[in-house]
Structure 1
Amino acid sequence: MKLILPLIGTVLCASAYAQTSDTLEAITVTAQKKEEKLQKIPVSVSAITARQVLDYRLWNTKEITAIVPNLYSADPGDGRNVTSIRGITTTSYDPAVATYIDGVNQFGLDTYISQLNDIERIEVLRGPQGTLYGRNAMGGVINIITKQPGNQLNGFAEANIGNYGQQRYAAGFRAPLVKNKLNLGVTGIYDQRDGYYTNLYNNKDFDRQHGISGNYYLKYLVSPRWSVTFNLKHVANRNNGTFPLTNGVEDALEHPFELNQNAVTEMVDNTFNTSLSIQHTGAAFNFSSQTAWQSNHRYYRSPIDGDFSPIDGVTIINDYGKDWNKVKVFTQEFRFTSVATAPFKWTAGTYLFALDNPVKQTTHFGEDAAMVGSPDKNYGLINTSTGKGFGLAFYGEAGYVLNKQWEVIAGLRYDYERKKQQVLGEYQPDGSPTPIFDFQPDTSARASFNAFSPKVGLLYHAAQHNDLFVTYSRGYRAGGLTQLAADPSTPPLYAYKPEYSNNIELGSKNTFFNNKLRVNVALFYATITDAQVPTLVLPEAITVTRNAGKLNSKGAELELAALPLKGLELNYQAGFTDAEYKTLKVSQNGGTVDLAGKKQLFTPDMTSMLALQYQLPVSQKPFVQLMARGEWQYLGEQYFDLANNIRQSPYNLLNARAGIITKYAEILFWGRNLGNRKYVSYAYDFGAVHLGNPETWGFTLRVKW
């Protein structure tokens, strides 16, 4: 008898706790855009099931750090997670790791939804995925699948209460409006918390947050072979104290969660994503169409501190109404796949996007402007930039079974992209109703890029439950144009080229002892040419990107799952990465600095996660079960600047969860970062530091009907 439970903290739809199982859960994934058994795919894929999302208590994508080998994700202070896999990391608004939610590409950091909501499964493909996913999937792909409505009526409600004023409430239902024809799904979350930081300027909480989100489905079954699904997702976050940063690692660790900023404001962050999916299951082939529209409007209600200090030095103003600082993206994908019984497996499709990104913000220099190096004071530099982009891609991948033991895989993708950007810089002194002159006249530029992304591989079925594979793949990150900065010495519209990677991977997937033990290992080696190296321009926090080096990344990974004793489950993931610049020359203080031999940013040299969970049935009628879980997370040494001066030494984190589970309700107590370890989760190259979350604890009460 199974107990279907709501999904913890993700608007919990049905996740399953059952009587103690004798075998590991078999997992089917869609990582290669068709349904396949996880253990039979010749790609390094980590799958986090709905039950595991509950077990790990995952509320945000950054929390999958180390659950997936060689994956690191962190919040730089504004809620937009920066993610690296195998030393390939996001260093600008073009991510290096692509994220898809229900088949929709979360195009950039602006439109990206980091909150986990109503999750069926999270799949993480490690290594370049250029053939099937194209641009900006150099490091890999995070593929998030939420639960869809069916013919069963069900509902749930959940409350989470914790320290720091944490409150998280979720509720939802699924229902057939017309049985076997029209299904409806509605889920929603409201959450809030007090700030982790204290602002010494006014002795108040800093980074207090609250938000509301929803995920709505309407699915129409046209016929046994055709279905149409409309999905709408929205997130409305409010943050009173964005960018809780402290200058310097030493000061941040000696005085944790304390800062001193005079310009305090509320960030308004509204994201709206909608999609229309058409699915056809045919006798000869399958077809799908995914049409999506995404938008994000982010602004500060009043000026935000740009010098992260109590002086009246620099503030940033970007509240210019609904037509500015609102990113809009349209995407369309058509895909064809072979049927499950076909001996020749193939996938083919086309993908296009259109981007509109109007940006307007003012860098204001106040009474203390001289303290930040400005020769003048009490004036604003207004930067206006309108960016547009368009891209088109064609792709195909196929696998052919040579015999019972050997299978060959090959694929190719072509991407074309063009970008246009127009900029204007204006000077406006305080008291003047309009700008008085242009420091950067109205000008524009265009750039276009294209790339071929091939893939070849060989799969060897050594035995029924033992497979070996070797693959070569090429990754591609789009080029672009730089924004306009307040500093006249920083040239606007500087074009930088795409970044390319070549990756070789050797892997082995194995299941032993009647599916009681699963062991997957992989070795990888990657070279990255025309590496896009970012330089952060302050105070307006604009990233200027240049092609400045060559990076090599190599390493190993292990994933292990076991049922050593009845009721006891063990999961262990570990990854080792050595990512080093072989050539790297950057501009600094009017000269050139050679940084060859330096390590890659945001890349721990080791990630490790050990989880032990024990489930003890107390009674069958009524069903009552006790559970206890412990997690040990280890992150190795990492750096946050190209010169490797800003460093976080290795550290450990401990998490725990325990509670009582019945057929219709459960109560769970949880704690994260037990021991209250202080560590740097993100830092900027100019020295501003954002700490990882402190010790948090609370309880979850969940009911389901």
Structure 2
Amino acid sequence: MFWNSRLVLILSLWMPSVVVCAQSVDSATSLNEVVVTAQKREEPLGKVPIAVAAFTATQVQQFRLWNNKDISGVVPGLYAADPGDGRDVISIRGVTSTSYDPAVAVYVDGINQFGLDTYIPSLFDIQRIEILRGPQGTLYGRNAMGGVMNIITRQPTNQFSGVAEVSTGNYGLQRYVAAFRNPLVKNKLFIGAAGLYEGRNGYYTNEYDGSSYDRQHSFTGNYYLKYLPGPRWTLDLNVKQRNNRNHGAFPLVADPSMLFGQPFKLDQNARTTMVDNTFQSSLSAGYKGRGFNFKSQTSYQKNYRYYQEPIDGDFSPLDAISVINNYGRRWNNIKAFTEDIQFSSASSSNLKWTAGSYWFYQDQPNRQATRYGNDANLLGVGDSLFSTINTTRNHKWGMAFYGQLSYPISSRANLTAGLRYDYEHQREDVLGEYQHDPDPTPVVVIPDTSGRVSFHAFSPRLALDYQVADHSILYAVYSRGFRTGGLTQLSFNPSEPPLAGFRPEYSSNYEFGIKNSLLSGVLRVNADVFFTHINDAQVPTLILPEAITVTRNTGRLDNWGAEAEIAGRFVKGLEVIYNLGYTHSRYRSLKLSQNGDIVDLVGKRQLFTPDLTSLLAVQYGLSLREGIRAFVRGEWKMMGSTYFDLANTMRQSPYSIYNMRCGVDVRQFELAVWGRNIGDKKYISYAYDFGAYHLGDPATWGVTLGVRFGG
């Protein structure tokens, strides 16, 4: 498959010569040019020397992207999976999340979703989504080592506009979207709001009591106020919230034979409701001048997440192990503050530059107990009816300074150079307690202990792009990324001492690519090859039954591959998209300590990294009469071999998923019938290395009725 990708690259190198002799093509068949902000300034997608996939508002609707995990496999080299609690694990080019510090940074309306706790995965009322592949540390900072997902929602203008949408489907699906944008004072004051309700029955059945296990419902809101105090100034106030209730989080199966033999069935004695409330607010001030631009963004984020009742920790009908974290709002209530100040060149300047500073503070108070019930002895615990309680207070703060400059070295060539410096400090306090029935008073067994760690990182970037024809550019990029380090949590396992520091993870990335818009915009061909080397790879070990992750810098990893994105509209109404990604990800060194022995796992494949992602999407639209248009769409998505443990014993073999969507547009109304995974393929979407599996979504069907109004 790698050689096929090389062939695409060679052909696209030749194809620019076609542009010179191409005939004029009907504009109705040409592809629309997309403007992106990948380099924190507005540029045409075809001019950006970065591997970027962009989805317009129309494409978000066509692909039916309702959640971040729906982008899995749509973008070359991107894999996203939900372990069952609504937090997507996103991998790009073999760089993946191994803890609550993500490897792919997610930005919504310019604000970094600071961690997996304060992260909102729902997608609605979207203007554009940009996926930047490869390290983006220079402009985006920490935890952008794999790339960046940049989400932009619709903003208010001088025209009243809005949308209303109703969806229903199998498994009791209900999804309602309503949004409006309105000028209160023309050219001065604007208001907008968008709301989303989602609900469905569970995909899983709990055979312990015959109940629907993972039933979910949530409400997400996005509210904004824009004020223009002068012709060059803008002020934006934005508030986002998500209140989610998951009646059966983490639907996991520990028996592999049951996983596919009796799919979407489990047998657990404990079922709880996960309460997950997220709040985000931001205040942005912007100035566009003749000589420079200025922007300041201040954000506050918090997440309060707990289980109303103990959650099953042994995934069985035994009353053996459960996890408790409902200790009131003082605990498991995470808060983060961020501030980003940025200066940049005016849009009319030939010399493009960006410079700024960034600051953050995060507070993570966590209290969690592991409860050993009546049947704990059956698992060899040696005792029963007791709890071990871990209390952790984690404080992080950091600052960064960054700058990037793009200089035209000729009429066709540009050189871009950037550098970022990050400093981060972390303090952690831990306390271990033991409580045995019938005495309710816990006894301190590990006294209150503190640890500190500090580190810094430089993230350089160097890129050269050359315009080989009017609508074709070649580019080469070197970039360095890093993922933050930290301190390990408290475990009652004596072999895992608490507060052991682990260093940041660093990567060096080399990328060569080409972007082409051919045949007067009828055909778009983008292709790239990349190589990424990761030093001090952070390797997680999950300590059971406390569900504590201990991280060590024990690996070196090499990722290389090729990607291609092809889109064409040769016939009026017919659009074809084909995206291909190949990723070869192997550990050059990896030694782990298991049961007192050193296990050498050199050559093993990276977690959550399909070696192949392939997407073919075909859509045809036909005008029936004025204002009435019918459409039909089919998608074939293929995912290669994927591994879920470092020893590579837990594997999902290659599989295909088929999606469809068809319907009719009647002026501002749209009625669509859709199906996801219509072949009902059973596949592992996520798995924990201790042997618990979660299946991907089954076949789902539904109908959506939407209306657009205003400008």
TM over 0.5: yes
TM-aligned CA deviation for residue 172 of structure 1: 2.0
> Quick one: distance in 2 between partners of 1:430 and 1:516?
72
1:400 and 2:404 matched: no
Q: Secondary structure of 2:62's match?
A: helix
Where do residues 223-302 of structure 1 align in structure 2 (5 Å cutoff)?
A: 223-302=230-309
Runs of at least 5 residues in structure 1 that lack an aligned partner in the other structure: 1-18
Q: Tell whether the 8 Å contact from 1:186 to 1:216 is kept in structure 2 after alignment.
A: yes
1:381 and 2:385 matched: no
- 2:652 aligns to what? 648
- 1:80 aligns to what? 87
- 2:374 aligns to what? 367
1:170 and 2:170 matched: no
- 1:661 aligns to what? 665
1:500 and 2:506 matched: yes
TM-aligned CA deviation for residue 541 of structure 1: 1.6
1:218 and 2:222 matched: no
TM-aligned CA deviation for residue 439 of structure 1: 2.2
TM-aligned CA deviation for residue 23 of structure 1: 1.0
Q: Tell whether the 8 Å contact from 2:580 to 2:612 is kept in structure 1 after alignment.
A: yes
1:635 to 636, 639, 646: 639
Q: Tell whether the 8 Å contact from 1:234 to 1:270 is kept in structure 2 after alignment.
A: yes
Give a deviation string over 1:58-112, Cα, whole Å, max 9, x none: 1000111121110000001111100000000001111111111111111111011
1:355 to 355, 359, 362: 362
> Quick one: distance in 2 between partners of 1:59 and 1:49?
14
> Quick one: distance in 1 between partners of 2:84 and 2:197?
21
- 1:697 aligns to what? 701
Give a deviation string over 1:24-47, Cα, whole Å, max 9, x none: 011000011111111001111111
> Quick one: distance in 2 between partners of 1:571 and 1:202?
46
2:585 to 579, 586, 593: 579
2:397 to 366, 383, 390: 390
> Quick one: distance in 2 between partners of 1:346 and 1:371?
65
Q: Tell whether the 8 Å contact from 2:542 to 2:548 is kept in structure 1 after alignment.
A: yes
1:536 to 533, 536, 542: 542
> Quick one: distance in 1 between partners of 2:562 and 2:197?
40
- 1:5 aligns to what? none
1:484 to 457, 475, 490: 490
TM-score (norm 1): 0.96
Give a deviation string over 1:340-390, Cα, whole Å, max 9, x none: 121111111100100000000111001111223312110111111000000
- 2:551 aligns to what? 545
Give a deviation string over 1:599-643, Cα, whole Å, max 9, x none: 0000000001110000000111xx100000000000000100000
- 1:105 aligns to what? 112
Q: Secondary structure of 2:388's match?
A: strand
> Quick one: distance in 1 between partners of 2:85 and 2:507?
29
> Quick one: distance in 1 between partners of 2:396 and 2:332?
16
- The AA in structure 1 aligned to 2:385 is N
Q: Tell whether the 8 Å contact from 1:312 to 1:367 is kept in structure 2 after alignment.
A: yes
Give a deviation string over 1:299-350, Cα, whole Å, max 9, x none: 0111110111110111111111111101100000001111112111111110
TM-aligned CA deviation for residue 430 of structure 1: 2.0
- 1:512 aligns to what? 518
Where do residues 130-209 of structure 1 align in structure 2 (5 Å cutoff)?
A: 130-209=137-216
> Quick one: distance in 2 between partners of 1:464 and 1:663?
37
Give a deviation string over 1:216-268, Cα, whole Å, max 9, x none: 01000111100100000000000000000001444311110000111111000
Q: Tell whether the 8 Å contact from 2:476 to 2:510 is kept in structure 1 after alignment.
A: yes
Q: Tell whether the 8 Å contact from 2:414 to 2:465 is kept in structure 1 after alignment.
A: yes
- 1:8 aligns to what? none
TM-aligned CA deviation for residue 566 of structure 1: 1.2
Give a deviation string over 1:423-477, Cα, whole Å, max 9, x none: 0000011222311x22211101000010011111111111111100101110111
Q: Tell whether the 8 Å contact from 1:20 to 1:615 is kept in structure 2 after alignment.
A: no
2:611 to 605, 613, 622: 605
- 1:686 aligns to what? 690
> Quick one: distance in 2 between partners of 1:148 and 1:173?
10
- The AA in structure 1 aligned to 2:616 is L
> Quick one: distance in 1 between partners of 2:575 and 2:230?
42
- The AA in structure 1 aligned to 2:482 is Y
> Quick one: distance in 2 between partners of 1:448 and 1:21?
57
Q: Tell whether the 8 Å contact from 1:505 to 1:522 is kept in structure 2 after alignment.
A: yes
- The AA in structure 2 aligned to 1:507 is G
Q: Tell whether the 8 Å contact from 1:528 to 1:550 is kept in structure 2 after alignment.
A: yes
> Quick one: distance in 2 between partners of 1:47 and 1:538?
41
Q: Tell whether the 8 Å contact from 1:249 to 1:646 is kept in structure 2 after alignment.
A: no
- The AA in structure 2 aligned to 1:454 is P
Q: Tell whether the 8 Å contact from 1:439 to 1:488 is kept in structure 2 after alignment.
A: no
> Quick one: distance in 2 between partners of 1:583 and 1:301?
42
- The AA in structure 1 aligned to 2:657 is L
Higher mean C-alpha deviation, range 559-568 or range 146-155? 146-155
Q: Secondary structure of 2:158's match?
A: coil
2:421 to 410, 414, 418: 414
Q: Tell whether the 8 Å contact from 1:277 to 1:291 is kept in structure 2 after alignment.
A: yes
- The AA in structure 2 aligned to 1:687 is G
Q: Secondary structure of 2:139's match?
A: helix
Higher mean C-alpha deviation, range 518-527 or range 173-182? 173-182
- 2:98 aligns to what? 91
- 1:128 aligns to what? 135
TM-aligned CA deviation for residue 540 of structure 1: 2.4
Q: Secondary structure of 1:21's match?
A: helix
Q: Tell whether the 8 Å contact from 1:249 to 1:680 is kept in structure 2 after alignment.
A: no
- The AA in structure 2 aligned to 1:177 is L
TM-aligned CA deviation for residue 188 of structure 1: 0.5
- The AA in structure 1 aligned to 2:70 is E
Higher mean C-alpha deviation, range 94-103 or range 480-489? 480-489
TM-aligned CA deviation for residue 134 of structure 1: 1.2
- 1:432 aligns to what? 439
Q: Aligned residues: percent identity? A: 56
- 2:18 aligns to what? none
TM-aligned CA deviation for residue 20 of structure 1: 9.0
- 2:44 aligns to what? 37
